[in-house]
Amino acid sequence: MSGWAVPDYVRLHAAGQPGRLACVDLASGRRWTYAELDRSIACCVSVLVERRIGAGDRVAVLARNSAWQLVLQQALTRLGAVFAPLNWRLAASELDALLEDCEPVLLVVDEASLVLADACAPACDRVALSELAAAVDRAAPAPPGESADADVPSILLFTSGTSGRAKGVIVTERNAFFTATNFSVLGRVDNGSVFLCDSPMFHVIGLLTSLRPPLMQGGTVYISAGFDPATTLARLGDPEIGVTHYFCVPQMAQMLRGAEGFDPARLCNLRALFTGGAPNPPENIRLWLGEGVRMADGFGMTEAGTVLGMPVDGEVIAAKAGSAGLPAPTLSLRIVAEDGREHLAGEVGELQIKGPNVTPGYWRRPAETEAAFTPDGWFRTGDLGRRDSDGFVFLVDRRKDMYISGGENVYPAEVERVLAEHPAVLEAAVVGVASPEWGEVGRAFLVCRSGEAPPAEELEAHCRGRLARYKVPRSFLFVESLPRTASGKVIKQALRSAAEAG
């Protein structure tokens, strides 16, 4: 035992502000005050105990977002058990691998995932989420018990798996507490904050960053089953809801802009539109800012939650557009060269981090856990970046995505930003492919805005006016869409495979 008890924000606010609205499930319309949410969690503890679920046991969930996932997760935390949400977009064989890895004692499934669950073969009990919710509503609340240890596994979040097999990232309640603290400070979260959560709850943004800060501060969270441009836009502009904080990837923000009825003036309650997960061109950030909406870019990861965030200040955002912001307050960050030397301002190197929000490691992967940390305890993010003289960090690319052409390092994200500036290009992704002459050269995969694709000569000329010659892609392929993970990241490995296959 660490001696550090698990913080229970819901129980605290149930005593201090029992009538305050805590949570709304938008699919059903059900609303919980903090007193009601605390009672539902305590009743869920009773249901879990009746099923003989206790400390250390894993409960997997295959379901769309709902407030019942929040109730279940908090109940498991009170028991010292582990919540393992699974990506319902995966194939049955992929889910089988995750279930085999985490060995749950119970699988909770919503109606939309029943067929997928039937195709899996978990060696555990199964219960419908609706059945579990009904049982919670019938149960009596469990009495408060001894607080669990904040340093044992509480959540297993499986990585998106943009390359290779997904890994289970261990999240402790200490990690979750400091993730909530970090974003609360950077995002100016307070008792009046209202979050809209429609990022999937099997992802760190949906389960932690969109839920923990408002619950910590005694605010309110509206939980949506998922993102729909028109529906989400209407909710963001609804003065009766009054959303102050919303997370999305840049592609989702683009879809909001294209949705019917888009009017930036209706988004006046937003403290900011928080973006991350994919490159966000500075011109795009300034466009939103010019319309009165602060777009605050940031950087986070499953292994650490909030790492970087742009201050919620229009002048700072305009001056530093393109930056992922400043390091979170409880986090130490350094940028290092291949030899471990810490870089000076302006030099590109790997971001390494240390702090109480950083995972203790990967579930049942001791070798990969050891490889993820330096001998002196810093977590290797695998992301390349530079820090300016004011301390703002600019991400350059993933280390594994960088390629070498004619002896020069090429960062695809830089090339992608330039391609995205072409008026005919909606999205761009660049990978390195083998070249007998140069070692590697760039191949660009492009999604057009509309109409005919521009000729390769035009795109090449566009790039040459903005990039060194060795950075200009040697081929341009047009596709209907780019392969993405559930969190919006482009799956570069799929593009590399396509390039290798010709």
Instruction: State the average pLDDT over residues 44-67.
Output: 97
CA distance 297 to 247: 10
What's the pLDDT at 420?
87
* Overall size of the chain counted in residues: 502
* Global pTM value: 0.84
Eight-class DSSP state of 62: E
Task: Determine contact, residues 473/441, Cβ cutoff 8 Å.
Answer: yes
Q: How confident is the model at residue 162 (pLDDT cuts 50, 70, 90)?
A: very low
Spatial CB neighbours of 100, under 8 Å, sequence gap ≥ 6: none
Percent of the chain with pLDDT over 70: 96
pLDDT at position 392, please?
Answer: 96
**Rounded mean pLDDT, 288-302:** 94
Print burial letters for 286-322: b (CB count within 10 Å at least 16), e (below 16). eebbeeebbbbbbbbbbbbbbbbbbbbebebbeebbb
| Token digits of residue 225 | 């089953």
Burial of 238 (0-12, 13-18, 19+ CB in 10 A): middle
- The SS3 assignment for 484 reads strand
Q: Which amino acid is at 328?
A: A
Side-chain half-sphere CA neighbours of 439 within 13 A: 10
Q: Where is pLDDT greater, at 497 or 46?
A: 46
3's CB contacts (< 8 A; 6+ apart) are: none
Average pLDDT over residues 347-376: 95
CATH architecture of the domain with range 402-500:
2-Layer Sandwich (3.30)
Tell me how far apart the alpha carbons of residues 120 and 65 are, in angstroms, rounded to a whole number. 21
Q: How far is CA 416 from the centre of its chain?
A: 21
Over residues 9-48, the pLDDT tens digits come to: 999 999 999 999 999 999 999 999 999 999 999 999 999 9
Per-residue pLDDT of 420-463, as tens digits, reads 889 999 889 999 888 877 778 899 999 998 777 899 999 999 99
For the chain, domain boundaries: 402-500
Average pLDDT over residues 227-236: 96
Q: Would you give the DSSP letter of residue 250?
A: H
168-187 confidence digits (pLDDT tens): 999 999 999 999 999 999 99
Q: How far apart are CA 391 and CA 125, in angstroms?
A: 51
Confidence of residue 163 (pLDDT cuts 50, 70, 90): very low
Q: What are the tens digits of pLDDT across the range 117-155?
A: 888 877 889 999 999 999 999 999 999 988 889 999 999
| Chain position carrying tokens 């937003």 | 270
pLDDT at 28 (0 to 100): 97
Q: How far apart are CA 247 and CA 277, in angstroms?
A: 10
Q: What is the pLDDT of residue 344?
A: 73
Looking at residue 441, its amino acid is: V
Note the Cα 337 to chain centre separation in Å.
Answer: 27
How confident is the model at residue 152, as a pLDDT?
Answer: 95
So what's the pLDDT on residue 2? Answer: 55
Average pLDDT estimate for 91-99: 87
Q: Please, which pLDDT band fits residue 1 given cuts at 50, 70 and 90?
A: very low
Which DSSP letter does residue 234 get? H
Of the candidates 322, 332, 327, the one whose C-alpha atom is nearest the C-alpha of residue 309 is 327
Average pLDDT over residues 194-218: 96
Strand partners, 326: 309
